[in-house]
Amino acid sequence: MRGVFATILQNRAVAEDILKMVLRGKDGAGLAGARPGQFLMVRCSDTSDPLLRRPMSLYDVSGDTFSIVYRVVGAGTRLMAKMPEGGEVHVIAPLGNGFNLPPQSGRVALVGRGVGAAPLVFLAKTAIAQGKRVFGFISATSRESLVGVEDLSKMGVELQTGVDTDGSSTELLDLIRERHSAEPFDYVATCGSRRMLRLVQDLRTATGVPGEVLLETRMACGIGVCKGCVVMTADGTYKKVCTDGPVFPVELIAG
Same-domain status, 88 and 40: yes
What is the helix (H) or strand (E) element at residue 55, kind and residue range? strand 54-62
Please name which of 117, 113, 16, 125 lies closest in space to residue 73, comparing C-alpha atoms. Answer: 16
What is the helix (H) or strand (E) element at residue 227, kind and residue range? none
Which of 36, 65, 95 is the last residue before a domain boundary?
95
113 has a pLDDT exceeding 90: yes
Entry pTM: 0.95
23 — pLDDT class (breaks 50, 70, 90): very high
Please tell me the predicted confidence (pLDDT) of residue 207: 85
Full domain range(s) for residue 30 = 2-95
Rg of the Cα trace of the chain?
A: 18
224 has a pLDDT exceeding 70: yes
Domain count of the fold of the chain: 2
What are the tens digits of pLDDT across the range 83-101? 999 999 999 999 999 999 9
Same-domain status, 66 and 112: no
Whether residue 224 lies inside any domain: the answer is no
Same-domain status, 174 and 89: no
Q: Domain holding 185: CATH number?
A: 3.40.50.80
Same-domain status, 169 and 77: no
Residue 136 and residue 152: Cα distance in Å, rounded? Answer: 8
Whether residue 29 lies inside any domain: the answer is yes
Same-domain status, 86 and 155: no
What are the tens digits of pLDDT across the range 171-198? 788 888 899 999 999 999 999 888 888 8
Collapse the DSSP code of 198 into the 3-class scheme (helix H, G, I; strand E, B; otherwise coil) and give the result.
helix
Same-domain status, 30 and 124: no
Residue pair 55/41 in contact (Cβ under 8 Å)? The answer is: yes
What type of residue is 125?
Answer: K
